[in-house]
Amino acid sequence: MATKHYVVGDSEVQKLWSKRVQTEALLNTQIGKFLGDDDKSLGCIETSTTKESGDRVTTTLRMRLTGAGVTELQPLEGNEEALVTYNDNVVINEIGHAVRRHKGISDQRIPWSVGMQNNDALVDWWAERLDKWAFNHLCGYVKETDTRYTGFNATIAPSTGRHIWCSTDHTTDASLDSDDIFALTHLDRAREIATTGSSSGHPRIRPIKAAMAGGGYGDMYVAFLHPTQVTQLRRSTSQWTDIQNSLLQGGYIKENPIFNGALGVYNKVVLHESEFCTPGLDSLSDVSNTRRAVFCGAQALTVAFGKGYSASKGKITEETFDYDREAGQSLLSVSGMKKTQFNSVDYGTIVLSSY
């Protein structure tokens, strides 16, 4: 256990010190705007564990019927089709963190509230942890095995047919070279796979329903790009200005969560930037000169919270020690997250690896 003390000689103890502590605060999570309690959201929040006891949620996918049906003079009896269903589940567990400070003269020496900064630091920690959970799963970052960083569910590598390499001649992250940079054509490939299921016959990836100008909803996908991939697009794509301007045209509402903070829209794919997009992998080792973007549709993630908790609500507690001379603050959440997968096929994600 360590307690932070500010003493006379510390550089922070100055007579003229800014009243505002400069922090790189995460105002909200990147993934939070895409979470919802219906199956039209990118991250579907299962609500059963917020109302009932249990630490595991099972979800079921019903596949589409594929039979031809019958026509004149053909009997229905004997030609029925059995439903095909698959299950997936997400485990929840407890995660928390805490900070501790000396309250007496240490607080007096500092012209800003250490207690408030402790509180804000915990909120920022929780926001960043949620994003790390999400992108470790979305990107299939199987190197991370500490479940505190994977939402208490093991990460799963991109399934067959759900991984695109931004290359004409390479099909592993480790083999990508400087010619294999991110381009809009790879988003076209991902959207084609999403809307057709590809030759693999996988389930199609459903788009996300997004509110449009003038009312109603439109079908959109979301792609998260690492900042280096965004830079590649800006340098190599003459359409970049048009992509950004498309947010102001075509009936899109910037205030709608799916468009808020977006880089632009291309081919009905909303582009977002995220520093949490993971490196590529060679087995369980990082390929440092690659990044994994991820193309997402509805129900790409499954999220669950325990009773009294949510994405925006953790339990913050303050305790005092040593006759009220020291104070500690803690944040606690009961939650879990994982990439949605049915029958060993990623349900709502396509990973795009580039150099």
Reduced 3-state DSSP string for 169-222: CCCCCCCCCCCCCCCHHHHHHHHHHHHHCCCCCCCCCCCEEEEECCCCEEEEEE
d(CA 223, CA 262): 10
Q: Do 344 and 202 touch, CB atoms closer than 8 A?
A: no
Q: What is the CA radius of gyration of the chain?
A: 24
Amino acid at 250: G
**Token reading at 193:** 């796979």
Place of tokens 């992509």: 243
Per-residue pLDDT of the chain (355 residues; tens, 9 = 90+): 677 776 655 655 544 443 434 344 344 688 988 998 888 899 999 888 877 787 888 888 787 788 899 998 899 999 998 988 888 889 999 999 998 887 777 777 777 677 778 788 888 888 899 999 999 999 999 999 999 999 999 999 999 999 999 999 999 999 999 999 999 999 999 999 999 987 777 889 999 988 776 667 788 999 999 999 999 999 988 888 888 887 777 667 656 788 888 998 999 999 999 999 999 999 999 999 999 999 999 999 999 999 888 777 778 888 888 888 888 888 888 999 999 999 999 999 999 999 9
Sign of CA dihedral 341, 344, 346, 347: negative
Contact by Cβ (8 Å): 35, 299: no
**283 Cβ contact partners less than 8 Å away, ≥ 6 residues apart:** none
Token pair of 98, please? 């805490």
Q: Which residues contact 170 (CB under 8 A, 6 or more apart)?
A: 176, 177, 180
- For 88, the enclosing helix (H) or strand (E) is strand 85-91
